[in-house]
Amino acid sequence: MSSTQRRSLAALIEHEMAGTWMLGLAAVSAIVWASLAPQSYSRIGNASVSIPSIPLPIIANLRDLITNGLMVIFFLTIGLEIGRERRHGTLQKLTQALAPLVGALGGMAGAALVYEIICLAWGNAQSRQGWGIPMATDVAFTLGALTLVRRHSAPGLRTFLLTLAICDDIATVIVLALVSHHTSSSAQLLAGVIGLGVSVVVIGASLRFRSRVLIMAATLILWWSFAHLGIEPPLAGIVTGAALALHRASTTAAENFERAIVPVSTWIVLPLFSLAALGVNVTSSIWRGAPVLLVAILAARLIGKPVGVISGATLSSRLGEAPALGDFPKLQLVGAAMLCAIGFTVPLIFAESIFGLGSGGYAASQISLVAASLLALVLGVWLIWAGRRR
């Protein structure tokens, strides 16, 4: 990676970390607003919005417009980030990415396993559908938390955590795409297939001419196609972003486009998503009707996730197929794994697709994900600080 590319990457990362605090402020504001003025929060979020030719379950109100519409920009940045790491970062060589990759898969599996065990023990069959909720990590929050102890963390720990979080994003998005299909009519499926073909042509044109307008056009067409095919529409962003970023001829265009779109995602889209998705009334009794979800998600995030991350990364390292993790103090490795339990962006998309917005299950998921994120933040930061080398 050239010095110019390194500076660009550093600027992007610092920008995202600064935006993390805006995201946290929006999350707190949503909870306070929904708790103190629930009618106002609900009225604005449920304001009717419709887009011609888009099925009503996808876009029916202002909240849907944000979670199913604007979030395509967030997923577009993930796709571009994957491509950047594939070209210049730790995803260039499989051996470099193997420990964090296996760690990410282990963390996802560990979270899902602990969740399922608790639901089985509780005897709650309905809650078992939510096994995908506690799996995902939020890159922005995780790296933002690491900045609190950046001076005390071991060299290479940040790169390890960044790669792990990116691998987690990729795997989680794949799982979300596979399990979150909505029912579509034959006409919608036909329209979706036609739109898919058009989007492929436009993506190809955007790769050839390196045009930002064509990139956004391709993303919108693919988003429209996914909406009709019954696939979560925001996932269109990651497909377009990855296609652009992985194409060697469009390297410069991808990096320029990423620099332009990351601020929009960080400062506008994600805070709006937090306001729309995290507005749970903590004084209401609706979320208390799903205690199994509260316990299962908390345990999955704070136990299953870090144990799975450490187990997977350590196993791949000891088998000699990945760089050793011995350079990291043990407490700091545990702290980094704990930071992977921070996040609610993709988990809440899972929760909405499974339980439905406004349900007790969704509200319980909101509460437990926020609580788990706060506890993981405190524990992770403390462990990394305690494990510093004197």
pLDDT (0 to 100) of residue 8: 52
pLDDT exceeds 70 at position 17 = no
Confidence band of 18 (pLDDT split at 50, 70, 90): low
Measured distance CA(231)–CA(225) in Å, rounded:
9
Confidence band of 207 (pLDDT split at 50, 70, 90): low
Helix (H) or strand (E) holding 180: none
How many other CB atoms are there within 10 angstroms of residue 112's CB atom?
A: 21
pLDDT exceeds 70 at position 10 = no
Contact 356, 270 (CB under 8 A): no
Confidence band of 337 (pLDDT split at 50, 70, 90): very high
Measured distance CA(131)–CA(296) in Å, rounded:
9
Query: Region 215-222: what's the mean pLDDT?
Result: 83
| Residue predicted with more confidence, 253 or 74 | 74
Q: Using only C-alpha atoms, what is the Rg of the chain?
A: 20
Burial 123-150 (b: 16+ CB within 10 A, else e): ebeebeebbbbbbbbbbbbbbbbbbebe
| Residue predicted with more confidence, 16 or 346 | 346
pLDDT exceeds 60 at position 239 = yes
Contact 322, 99 (CB under 8 A): yes
Q: Give per-residue pLDDT as tens, 288-310.
A: 778 899 999 999 999 999 999 99
Lowest mean pLDDT among 37-41, 209-213, 223-227, 382-386: 209-213
Measured distance CA(165)–CA(143) in Å, rounded:
9
> Coil, helix or strand for 127?
helix
Q: Which of 285, 298, 283, 299 shows the shortest CA–CA distance to 365?
A: 298
Tell me what the pLDDT averaged over the chain comes to.
Answer: 79
| Residue predicted with more confidence, 357 or 246 | 357
> Coil, helix or strand for 57?
coil
CATH domain 3-386 topology: Na+/H+ antiporter like fold (1.20.1530)
Q: Give per-residue pLDDT as tens, 148-179.
A: 777 788 877 877 887 788 788 778 877 877 77
Q: Which of 348, 286, 340 shows the shortest CA–CA distance to 312?
A: 340
pLDDT (0 to 100) of residue 306: 96
Burial 250-280 (b: 16+ CB within 10 A, else e): bbebbbebbeebbeebbbebbbbbbbbbbbb
Measured distance CA(155)–CA(367) in Å, rounded:
35
Lowest mean pLDDT among 219-233, 247-261, 351-365: 247-261
270-277 and 345-355 are packed helices; what angle lies between their axes, rounded to 10 degrees? 40
Contact 89, 163 (CB under 8 A): yes
Confidence band of 214 (pLDDT split at 50, 70, 90): confident
Lowest mean pLDDT among 36-40, 94-98, 238-242: 94-98
pLDDT (0 to 100) of residue 180: 63
Q: Which of 130-134, 157-161, 242-246 tops mean pLDDT?
A: 130-134
Portion of the chain with pLDDT greater than 70, in percent: 77
Query: Which residues make Cβ contacts (< 8 Å) with residue 28, sequence separation at least 6?
Result: none
Q: Which of 271, 390, 389 shows the shortest CA–CA distance to 332?
A: 389
Using the Cα atoms of residue 146, residue 174, residue 351 and residue 311 in order, give the sign of their dihedral.
negative
Q: Which of 233, 224, 217, 131 shows the shortest CA–CA distance to 182?
A: 233
How many other CB atoms are there within 10 angstroms of residue 349's CB atom?
A: 26
pLDDT exceeds 60 at position 3 = no
pLDDT (0 to 100) of residue 109: 95
pLDDT (0 to 100) of residue 349: 81
Confidence band of 356 (pLDDT split at 50, 70, 90): confident
Portion of the chain with pLDDT greater than 90, in percent: 18
Q: Give per-residue pLDDT as tens, 56-115.
A: 667 888 988 888 888 888 888 877 777 776 666 666 666 667 888 889 999 999 999 999
pLDDT (0 to 100) of residue 382: 92
Q: Give per-residue pLDDT as tens, 257-293.
A: 777 888 888 888 888 988 887 787 888 777 777 889 9
